[in-house]
């Protein structure tokens, strides 16, 4: 408590009160002025505060950096030569692979590969088993005519007429003509009541009826029995684009070129005659092969299933009104 009666203490107290009041009276504007003064003094010293810059990079930059590190560690990278002559003197421990030929000796000039197991394999194995079983009786008939059945005698006679011709083209023409004359076309559905059935040669010659597969199989067996190498014979399953129907023919290699025996033609077919055929399967002593045809979607041949109906052909062998040619 201040006392007035103390003259010397009163001035000191008033001075103290005035000093405190002056300190509390600092406004926000004064504070900002002081802050600016501090910053100005800091800049004079050279202490500038800046935010770090952002760095962008791509995955290619990262890979390039790593490649550079590897090159420094392992030395310069040598690029393999693409010129065959430049690679002649290069030694390596990699196995040497056989060269792949750009051409093929298969029909239509197309590569083939083994077809997956399926209906075609089953049908072909069944026909071959029957042909093997019939071969013993045919051989006995060929040695002794008295031991021949009528159909075996007919088969042997057709084989002998073909074997007597040494020229392979003439032999093929004889077989093609003889089988076409001996068999009358009829679809499997009308003949057997099923969509597709392959018969062995003796069965076809005995009935005198068959479809395109039966013609081709009989010609295959006759040419084989006449001495034609099995490597020169192939059954071909094709799509005939001219009539938009599946078809089967026999191909024979004569002087390095393939010709086709067709039940619709008396003469052999080759070259431009085959332009309407889209090759699907090749069948020979090795089994069933698929043609590596350059088609986006390969159509299914009717022989690949037992469900699809057979070609619409009259029992007399003549084509129906919606087919321009007999298959």
Kindly report the three-state secondary structure assignment for every residue of the chain: CCCCCCCCHHHHHHHHHHHHHHHHCCCHHHHHHHHHHHHHHHHHHCCCCCCCCCCCCCHHHHHHHHHHHHHHHHCCCCCCCCCHHHHCCCCCCCCCCCCCCCCCCCHHHCCEEECCCCHHHHHHHHHHHHHHHHHHHHHHHHHCHHHCCHHHHHHHHHHHHHHCCCCHHHHHHHHHHHHHHHCEECCHHHHCCCCCCCCCHHHHHHHCEECHHHHHHHHHHHHHHCCCCHHHEEEEEEEECCCCEEEEEEEEEECCEEEEECCCCCCCECHHHHCCEEEEEEEECCEEEEECCCCCCCCCCHHHCCCCCCCCECCCCCECCCCCCCC
At 66 the pLDDT is: 61
| Mean local confidence (pLDDT), 88-102 | 49
At 15 the pLDDT is: 52
In percent, the amount of the chain with pLDDT more than 70 equals 58
Average pLDDT, rounded, for the chain: 76
Distance, C-alpha 20 to centroid of its chain:
98
| pLDDT band at residue 172 using 50, 70 and 90 as cut-offs | very high
At 272 the pLDDT is: 86
More confident of the two residues 251 and 317: 251
pLDDT of residue 177 exceeding 90, the answer is yes
At 130 the pLDDT is: 97
At 195 the pLDDT is: 86
pLDDT of residue 313 exceeding 50, the answer is no
**CATH of 107-304 given 3.10.620.30, 3.90.280.10, 3.40.630.10, 3.40.50.10490:** 3.10.620.30
| Mean local confidence (pLDDT), 57-78 | 58
């Amino acid at each position: 408590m201040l006392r007035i009666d103390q003259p010397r203490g009163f001035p000191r107290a008033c001075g103290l009160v005035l000093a405190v009041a002056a300190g509390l009276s600092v406004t926000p504007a004064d504070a900002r002025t002081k802050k600016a003064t501090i910053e100005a003094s800091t800049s004079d010293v050279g202490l500038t505060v800046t935010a770090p810059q952002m760095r962008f990079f791509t995955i290619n930059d990262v890979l390039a950096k790593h490649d550079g590190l590897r090159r420094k560690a392992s030395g310069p990278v040598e690029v393999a030569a693409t010129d065959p002559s430049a690679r002649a003197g290069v030694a390596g421990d990699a196995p040497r692979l056989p060269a792949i030929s750009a051409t093929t000796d298969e029909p239509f000039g197309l590569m083939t590969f083994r077809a997956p197991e399926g209906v075609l394999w089953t049908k072909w194995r069944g026909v071959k088993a029957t042909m093997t079983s019939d071969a013993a009786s045919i051989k006995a008939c060929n040695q002794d005519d008295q031991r021949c059945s009528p159909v075996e005698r007919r088969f042997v006679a057709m084989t002998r007429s073909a074997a007597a011709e040494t020229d392979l083209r003439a032999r093929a023409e004889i077989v093609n003509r003889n089988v076409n004359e001996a068999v009358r076309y009829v679809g499997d559905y009308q003949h057997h009541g099923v969509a597709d059935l392959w018969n062995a040669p003796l069965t076809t010659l005995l009935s005198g009826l068959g479809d395109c597969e039966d013609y081709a199989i009989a010609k295959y067996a006759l040419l084989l029995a006449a001495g034609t190498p099995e490597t020169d014979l192939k059954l071909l399953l094709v799509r005939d684009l001219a009539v938009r129907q599946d078809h089967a023919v026999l191909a024979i290699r004569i002087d390095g070129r393939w010709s086709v025996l067709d039940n619709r033609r008396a003469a052999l077919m080759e070259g431009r005659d085959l332009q309407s055929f889209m090759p699907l399967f090749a069948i020979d002593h090795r089994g069933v092969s698929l043609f590596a045809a350059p088609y986006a979607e390969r159509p299914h041949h009717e022989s690949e299933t037992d469900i699809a109906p057979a070609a619409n052909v009259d029992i007399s062998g003549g084509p129906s009104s919606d087919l321009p040619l007999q298959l």
